[in-house]
Structure 1
Amino acid sequence: MSASVAAPAPFDPTAFLPDDLLARIRERAPIHDRENTFPQQDLDELRDAGYLRILVPTERGGAGLSLTQAAILQQRLAGAAPATALAINMHLVWTGVAKVFSDRGVPGMEFVQDGAAAGEVFAFGISEGGNDLVLFGSDTEAVPQADGSYAFTGLKIFTSLAPVWTRLGLHGLDTTSPDAPKLVFAFIDRTDAVVTGDDWDTLGMRGTQSRTTRLNGAVAPADRIVRRIDPGPTPDPIIFGIFSVFEILLASVYTGIAQRALELAVETAQKRRSKKTGKSYAQDPDIRWRIAEMGLAVDALPPQIAALARDVDELVDHGTRWFPQLAGLKHRATVMAKQVADEAMLVAGGSSYFSAHELSRIYRDVLAGAFHPSDPESAHSTVASALLGPIED
């Protein structure tokens, strides 16, 4: 008889996000929202807890977690402070892309893992105003230099972690090399060639401080040029890595926000009492139906996130189906979060309309979901093309 093999211990999110740490983060969240400031203490505590290196392999100084486990943690963090979770997401995207590379035997992003293990903070410099090509094109100039480096000039928007990042992952278009055009993905340091605006005054997600970044010939050294690829859709690991990790972790953040909205709605329904019946609102058939609808919506997302994250971890090849599946996941999560926030506000009643109420902040925060790639138009276009084929000329 063969010896039995012990089952692996279940993943314990509290080992990386203890309850007391989350409580402090949750307590600070309304302050940063009200004052429109970056949650520096959150970042400091998360860094000290090893959170910035959760996706870094153990042999390179990290925790060696899977994308599936990181998604669970981001849901938990988002329930405490949506803006903090969304900001940290952008750092985790790059460490997640580095993991996608290393898991598939693709070299070139080890410096990201080593940097994260050493305390570097990576920001995401892809978004550009009016560039609906997103990963498939860029309005930023990428000019090759004699030593193999590239100088980037252009304007990036929605650069989360703006006050604190130490390295910025970005892309630009090389139009001058003999094999041009080429999209260049690289990393730069914060130097005088990088100007961070002070223009983040938004309806919600105020703590992310996702300010505009102007690049004036910012140089990425040759050893931080990650990829040079043809513009347009491609199965290149950099495109797959960014798209898969970004969409999965983004869906995780908005699912975590929805879970918190549901939790607050349940607490409120149990506390509020009807003058008419003398019973708690938890006994009101209409409120019960509304909360049940919220629960049905929220419960659908974590298994979807886990399934796709596990497929990335296990190198499953969905081929061209990857993009509609990932875009669909992100779209469903952000739409669901907004719907749940709407319902939670109605359950909580008029008090939730006051800006000091947590649901008021959640209601504003979830609105940002529609503006992240893939936006609703892009998601529908991607899925339509997968099901119906491309639009005929």
Structure 2
Amino acid sequence: MSFLSNDVLTAIHDRAPHYDANNAWPKEDFEALKECGYLGAFVPREYGGGGLNLEEIAAEQTLLAKASPSTALAVNMHQIIVGVARHMVREGLDQGRKILEDAVAGELFAFGISEPGNDLVLFGSITQATPNAEGYSFTGTKVFTSMAPAWTRMLTFGRDTDTGKSVFAIILRETPGIMIKDDWDTIGMRGTQSNTTVLDNAQSDWILTITDPGPSTDPVVFGIFANFEVLLAATYMGIGLRAIEVAAEHVKTRKSVKNQSVYANDPDIRWRIADAAIRMDGVGPQIRELARSFDNKDELGALWMPRLSAVKNASAEASLHAVDQCIRACGGSSYYTKNELSRLYRDVLAGLFQPSDQESLHGAWAGIVLGPTGD
């Protein structure tokens, strides 16, 4: 049984074309998600939440992405931070408790990690984190900060100006020194409104961890990486699955003059849609297996991060392939912006740019299979 009702999902789906066409924040969607308790769905029951585990919230994200990819991708960032807090508490770090409590109370958490020109992403920041008596002040620029018009809390990180360590913290929206640009004008995922956020000595005393840069088993770093990759994979899976639904419905009514029959009877068209479905069929089990492994604290050792990178890439690439095949099957009508496949095509492209990218993925797996490079 889904946490998100059919009525909520249908309403979100019906609004998606409007928010995409107007490059607008999906305010009504987030009001509906808050009202139904979705901001706290991933919070354990002992903290007043819905008690869903990673596998279950991933399934919800897939359903939401089928309704509206941009709304799903935006709230995905909130769910990632809730997932980090769950992992922190499980590992004995009480700093995560307030995140869980705030999520249940309706606070919206943004993800302020990515920086312009920084391909280290999570593993090293160019933002300055300056220590002081109250905690740290952060100065730098964060890009792709989803939910920019509405977030109330933001997880961010910077480089300690004294030690060089990575400092992860939560910054409140009302904190002085935060400037949000109105610069989100993209091909797709327009409703996420992932504007650039500029930090100018923005203060935080809510420090989650201070750790060495680079891949790490630190609960915050590993919690971010694991939840990010699994939930991103689940979100993009929804796009591929929805494309197949749209295409299947379309070819059952689109008629071929040459064959005097609907395109659903054309063997070439059937092959294309079947090919899309075959690619997507392998994604769900991979997501569920890895989510269960994380929930169960399985010992995967050095394979953890390569496998997490792989699940995101598998989903993003399979969904891109599926949408492409569905567009080919449906013909020129899908080139019009009013066609849902056109929007799905633009939205799925965002998966190419989000970490881990293919270069990072292949580098990680080469290290596992071949070991370090020699002279």
TM-score after normalising by structure 1: 0.94
Q: CA deviation at 1:347?
A: 1.0
Cα distance per residue 1:213-252 (max 9 Å; x no partner): 000111111xx10000011222211111000000000000
Amino acid at match of 1:196: I
- Equivalent residue, structure 2, for 1:89: 76
- Equivalent residue, structure 2, for 1:277: 259
Q: CA deviation at 1:301?
A: 0.5
> Secondary structure of 2:256's match?
coil
Matched, 1:193 2:193: no
Distance 1:389 1:194 in 2: 43
Choose the corresponding residue for 1:166, options 138, 149, 152. Answer: 152
Q: Report if the CA contact (8 A) 1:78-1:257 is conserved.
A: yes
Q: CA deviation at 1:37?
A: 0.4
- Equivalent residue, structure 1, for 2:190: 206
Q: CA deviation at 1:151?
A: 0.3
- Equivalent residue, structure 1, for 2:213: 231
Distance 2:326 2:54 in 1: 30
Distance 1:345 1:118 in 2: 42
Amino acid at match of 1:355: T
Distance 2:362 2:245 in 1: 30
Cα distance per residue 1:316-372 (max 9 Å; x no partner): 121110011010111111111111111111111111000111000000001100110
> Secondary structure of 2:368's match?
helix
- Equivalent residue, structure 2, for 1:368: 350
- Equivalent residue, structure 2, for 1:139: 126
Cα distance per residue 1:247-303 (max 9 Å; x no partner): 000000100000000111111111112112222111111011111111101111011
Unaligned runs of 5+ in 2: none
- Aligned ranges for residues 1-393 of structure 1 at < 5 Å? 12-13=1-2, 16-147=3-134, 149-176=135-162, 180-190=163-173, 191-221=175-205, 224-392=206-374
Equivalent residue pairs, number: 374
Amino acid at match of 1:280: V
Q: CA deviation at 1:381?
A: 1.1
Distance 1:113 1:318 in 2: 27
Unaligned runs of 5+ in 1: 1-11
Distance 1:233 1:365 in 2: 29
Cα distance per residue 1:115-152 (max 9 Å; x no partner): 101110000000001111111110100001123x1100
Distance 1:135 1:380 in 2: 18
Q: Report if the CA contact (8 A) 2:176-2:203 is conserved.
A: no
Question: Which range moved further: 69-78 or 17-26?
Answer: 17-26
> Secondary structure of 1:204's match?
coil
Q: Report if the CA contact (8 A) 1:294-1:343 is conserved.
A: yes
Amino acid at match of 1:227: T
Q: Report if the CA contact (8 A) 1:251-1:330 is conserved.
A: yes
Amino acid at match of 1:194: I
TM-score after normalising by structure 2: 0.98
Amino acid at match of 1:387: V
Amino acid at match of 2:82: T
Q: Report if the CA contact (8 A) 2:131-2:161 is conserved.
A: no
Q: CA RMSD in A?
A: 0.9
Q: Report if the CA contact (8 A) 1:268-1:347 is conserved.
A: no
Amino acid at match of 2:136: Y
